[in-house]
Amino acid sequence: MIQDYFKSVFKCEPTIVAQAPGRLEFIGNHVDYNNGVVMGVAIDNRIYVAVSPRDDNEIHMASEGLRCRDSINLDQVKLQDGKKKFMNYPLGVLDALMRRGMKVPHGFNMADTSTVPSGAGVSSSAAIELATAYALCALYNFPLNKLETVLVGKEAENKFVGMPCGILDQGVSGFGEKDAIVRIDCKTNDFSTLPLPAGTYFWVFNSGVKHALVAGDYAQRHDACMKAADIVGKYDAKYTCLADASASVVMANRSRMEAAGAKIFERAKHVVEENARVIEMQEALKKGDLTAVGNLMYASHCSSRDLFENSCPEIDFLVEQLMAQDNVYGARLSGGGFGGIAIALTNGDFSETQAAAVAAAFEAKFGKKPNFFKTTTGKGAGLA
C-alpha cells in the first residue's frame, strides 16, 4: 500500500495520493510525433504517488520499486545525475508545472509504489509523470484539465529529460478507460475511445532486450522523420507534417529523400503507411472484423521490422511464434522498439500453456526466459 510505504519513509500521513496506469501501444508505431493517429490501451498496472507538504524548501523523494531515496532543494530543480537520477521524471513534471505558473511556496515529500514493470516497454515513465502531475496540482491547488496534465507529462520528457517522444504514452495513461482503446489524433490533440472487442485480451511478452542507446536510436528516427516532413512540406506546403502526406506523396519524393540521407525514404514510408493502417484499424474495429484487426497488427510489425528498423531478432521471433499459435488474432512490436515488448491480441481461449510454449521456444533460441503476462485494461490517471 502506498500509504504504508509513505508512512514508513516519512513518518507522517500523505495528504494526497494519485495514480496513473502503464500503457500498451496498440497500433501507430512512431506515428505520434509525426502528427498522425495512434491507438493504445491503459493497463491495470499502476504507479501510485503520495505527497505531503513540508515546512522547509526541500523536496524529498522515495521510490519503493527503485529502492531509492534522496532530496534536493527547491532551487535545484534541474536534471539530476548519479543516484538522484530517479528523481528526474517527477522533477521534470514539477518544472513544467512551474513554467505554467504553479506557485511552490514550500517543499514536499513524495513517495511512489508501482505495479508497472519498469523498463518493460509499458511506459512506467508516463505513469510516474501523470501520477506526479495529479498529486502536485492537488498539493499546490493548481487545477489543470486532463489534456493539460497529459501535455505537462510530455513536456517533462521533451524539455527536461530530453526524449523527443510524442503524446502516445502520456495520452493513453491520462485518457485510458477500462475495456477501451484510446484513439489520439496527434495533430489536433483530439482524444476518443473505441470499445475493446468483447472477448479479446492482450498478452505482453518482454524480450528483456534493453537497448542502452534507446534514446539515441529513437532521436535518430525522429530526426529522419522531421527531414522527411521538411521535404514533403517543400514539395507542397499543404503537408504540414509527415502524417499529412500519403504513400504516393512519399513515393513522388523518393529521390529527394534518398538524396537527403540514408533511410529517410524508408522511415517516411513506414510512417505514412502505418498512419493509414490506424485508420483502417478503426474501420475493422467498428465492423468487429478481428481477422482484419490481427492482419493490421502483423502488417504494422513487418513495417517496423523492415522499413523503420526498430525491431530486433528477439521481438521478431516472439511475434512469429505468437502468430503461429491458435487463438491469436495478431501480434506486433509495441512501443519505441529496439527491444522492449511484443504484444498479442488473443481470444479468451489463448492459454497460459500456449504462452509458456512461446516462452520456452524463446529460451531455447536465446538462452533466457522472457517474462509474459496477460493484461486487463484499466482506468486512466487521476487522484486515487
Active site residues: 169
Whether the Cβ atoms of residue 132 and residue 89 lie closer than 8 Å to each other: yes
How far apart are CB 221 and ligand GLA at their closest, in Å? Answer: 9
- Using rule CB under 6 A, residue 343 touches ligand GLA: no
Closer Cβ to ligand GLA, 187 or 254, answer by number: 187
Sign of the Cα pseudo-torsion (86, 91, 92, 94, in order) = positive
Distance CA 355, CA 89 (A): 33
Cell of 150: 497529459
How far apart are CB 235 and ligand GLA at their closest, in Å? Answer: 24
Closer Cβ to ligand GLA, 20 or 359, answer by number: 20
Which of the residues 143 through 172 are near ligand GLA (CB under 6 A)? Answer: 165-166, 168-169
Closer Cβ to ligand GLA, 168 or 250, answer by number: 168
How far apart are CB 121 and ligand GLA at their closest, in Å? Answer: 8
Which of the residues 49 through 78 are near ligand GLA (CB under 6 A)? Answer: none
How far apart are CB 335 and ligand GLA at their closest, in Å? Answer: 4
Total number of residues binding ligand GLA (CB under 6 A)?
Answer: 12
3-class secondary structure per residue, 208-268: CCCCCCHHHHHHHHHHHHHHHHHHHHHHCCCCCCHHHCCHHHHHHCHHHHHHHCCCHHHHH
Per the rule left: phi > 0, alpha: psi between -120 and 50, beta: everything else, 208 is left
- Using rule CB under 6 A, residue 335 touches ligand GLA: yes
- Using rule CB under 6 A, residue 336 touches ligand GLA: yes
Cα 13 to its chain centre, rounded Å, is 31
Site string for ligand GLA, 1-20 (x = CB under 6 A): --------------------
Whether the Cβ atoms of residue 252 and residue 209 lie closer than 8 Å to each other: no
Distance CA 91, CA 77 (A): 6
Q: What is the dihedral of CA 358, 363, 369, 374, to 10 degrees?
A: 0
How far apart are CB 182 and ligand GLA at their closest, in Å? Answer: 13
Closer Cβ to ligand GLA, 174 or 336, answer by number: 336
Q: Kindly state the helix (H) or strand (E) to which residue 199 belongs, with its residue range.
A: none
Residue 365: partners with Cβ closer than 8 Å, 6 or more residues away: 317
Which of the residues 78 through 137 are near ligand GLA (CB under 6 A)? Answer: 123
Closer Cβ to ligand GLA, 28 or 107, answer by number: 28
Which candidate, 15, 285, 266, 261, places its Cα nearest to that of 136?
A: 15
Give the SS3 label for residue 123.
Answer: coil
Distance CA 129, CA 154 (A): 8
Region binding ligand GLA by CB under 6 A among candidate stretches 23-31, 137-145, 261-269, 373-381:
23-31
How far apart are CB 157 and ligand GLA at their closest, in Å? Answer: 7
Site string for ligand GLA, 24-53 (x = CB under 6 A): -x---xx-xx--------------------
Whether the Cβ atoms of residue 297 and residue 256 lie closer than 8 Å to each other: no
Closer Cβ to ligand GLA, 303 or 377, answer by number: 303
How far apart are CB 321 and ligand GLA at their closest, in Å? Answer: 22
Closer Cβ to ligand GLA, 109 or 334, answer by number: 334
Binding positions for ligand GLA, rule: CB under 6 A = 25, 29-30, 32-33, 123, 165-166, 168-169, 335-336
